[in-house]
Structure 1
Amino acid sequence: MYRAAARERGFTLSGRFLAGARLSFELQERFGREYLAELGCSFGQAWSNWPAMMTREGTRTTYSPVKHVLLNAFFQLPAERRGAFVYRTPGKRLTDVTELDPRLARMVKKEAVRLLKTGRTGTVESVLRATGHWELFRHNRDQFPQTNAEVLAFRKTDASERKSGGRAVHAGRLRAIAEGRQKPFRTWSQRPKRERSGSEE
């Protein structure tokens, strides 16, 4: 359905290939990067992204409802060419980390707030994977100072698995103690001698 809609809107190359990158570029121009980021639907290069993937024939990937809403809305809007788009020559392309860093920092903060509100915990990796930029961040950490600052702030919150005690079960126990639903853990010195030695007296 999406593929047919894209063809009807003229997103084709040489008459038979689908111009998925140009479609994604214009969708991003129409809705704006900030808005897409707030919805968790942002993407980097137009050559590798969800709008183009959703128009592929026979794709088996499952996409979130909000992405279906956005793509459907885009096809319902009047056709409009916004900005200049040119297909680049093949080869490795560099990501503009200067432009991405502040956006990624905001996404990390938003994901941390979401975890806190829902009472869940996560790791730095899980938070960055939720933004879709974990691999890029882990290999170029020094180039993301603002994101790094948000990551360090996240580690100090109760949403961090490391701060909450690691495993989700233990984190749940810590929350129960904080909320008064469970007695605090006893320290080693507070335990009876029999329990500490593990032998009968």
Structure 2
Amino acid sequence: MKQKIYYLAAVFVMTTHLFAASVEAQQGDGKEKPIGFELGAHAGVFLPDQVEYVTEIMSMWGMRMSWATKRGPFVELGGMVGHDEGVDWQNLSLSYRINYPLEEMLGLFYIGADAHRYLGTSQTDWKIFGGGHMGGGIMAQIGEPLWFRADMKFNVNPGVSMYFGFGFVFRYPEEEKQQENNLPQ
């Protein structure tokens, strides 16, 4: 099991360095619109520890939506599901996320609350827990609205767990404000 964890950490580090080395600065007119909404999908591995009836690393996948707040940070709603080694796991999370420039990419830091629902091996009833998380990652632009995102998220309760995920995010600019007579500007 420790070999899998070291292998996954090495893959995470190599992938982030690969994208850091290959991303070039975007050419633009300097008038980029602020982002208002994001929608993306991701997949990765979930490493639970000290969780009753759950002893193996699980494959997970999910989706997330993010909205920009008036002050700049994002509110992010996400969900993940997985089934591996006889265990079913579902997660719903709500996060407060800040972005910061990191060379030609964006660095991420987020913190929030979780709702977990799981059915472990040899269990007949689903267990439901609330918990918290904090995490970080990077985003690198691939095309106009498309970005690559890599995350590492630490969860507390039930037990402790770590999620390493990779995926794609579509980032959309804020809607332009309309004049009082509702005509486009």
Name the TM-score, length of structure 2 as normaliser: 0.21
Pick the structure with more helix per residue: 1
Which structure would you say has the larger Rg? Answer: 1
Structure in which a larger fraction of residues adopt strand: 2
Structure having greater relative contact order (Cα 8 Å, sep ≥ 6): 2
